[in-house]
Structure 1
């Protein structure tokens, strides 16, 4: 893996010059504008037994997608109006506050509850304190994959996405890092629904259905 990344570092970083400097304590593998992508930021996405050539292709595709996305983000940041930037900052802060409050309330609830409480008692506690669990925006757990229409073997990806087997999930990750425009797995944590909705081609009229 390290050999692959070093080769990519040579081929990607030497094509551009800039006064911006990377963190000398970390290994930079790519740069988009003044933003660097470091070795420790790349997910562990190479399944065991993958050939060196396939491993290099997987990592290279991931870096290319990162660079395109980062350049687009920088371009959008440059061209957004001041009012829109303020609106986005406000939305991000509200979402962050909602998640912090939710996690704090959940932690406090767990700390105060005795471990021998029955399901009925837990349900009653929730019914008696529903206002404490209300969020200002919807949250979701999901696996989100965005693929180009011409992606090969899309049916295979659908099958892997429905599987709970670890080997299938590793194959899915490897496949998505090669072909997916977007791949987010937040099945284990709650995230704001609007993080997902901005990626959808059309609005969802009823987020709670």
Structure 2
């Protein structure tokens, strides 16, 4: 692939810009790799190099698209550099000092955060035992109040034309060993099903799964030991509610386990970071890399 004279950027009154373009480009990349960095453009003392742009190019784009991308990139880069140069000349000195301080603070935060994350990832213990989860739950139970009703239920969705609906409903309600085996054997005929009634599910999720069920009528159907059948033009919805927890009840441990685990891991991480920071200070003082000259 050959690419010649992609763009010539205009000279600017205060700062000149020139563009050096590559010729004889191979198919895999617009720019050849060279030992010395070769400039594409200059604004004042700032240079844009081939390898800066090369990393952004994709192999599967056409010559024309690549040329257009490079042209736009160079122009955008030059515009930013020129505006930056102008801002340093024309903005008030106090504002420039403030911006420079913000830049330094951001750079420091970026480096230190990345370094701390790297140290923590090497030493962090991410295992949280069931005993630790249970212990935290028992201590903090009052902080785990439900903001939404939770329900345990069995559920089957049938097509509107399903022939043996009554038998399926009866077996789903009773649900002894024979019933479970029977329903499992014909489960492929159901549009949707859930036989695991040991899991707590948010009422809002159930309302979304069963269209005839709404937030206005859910209290009529989502009651402990309630069996209900609802129907619309799409299908028939059968459900047996086995347990219910209402808003402001204490959330069950199984439901809040993921949240508790994350809380414990976050606390562990913060404690580890504080320990690392203390050790860094202590080591620096010991090695005379850090001294404080301010007297009390």
Give the TM-score normalised by structure 2.
0.35
Higher RCO, Cα 8 Å, sep 6+: 1
Considering fraction of residues, name the structure with more helix: 1
Rg (Cα) greater in structure: 2
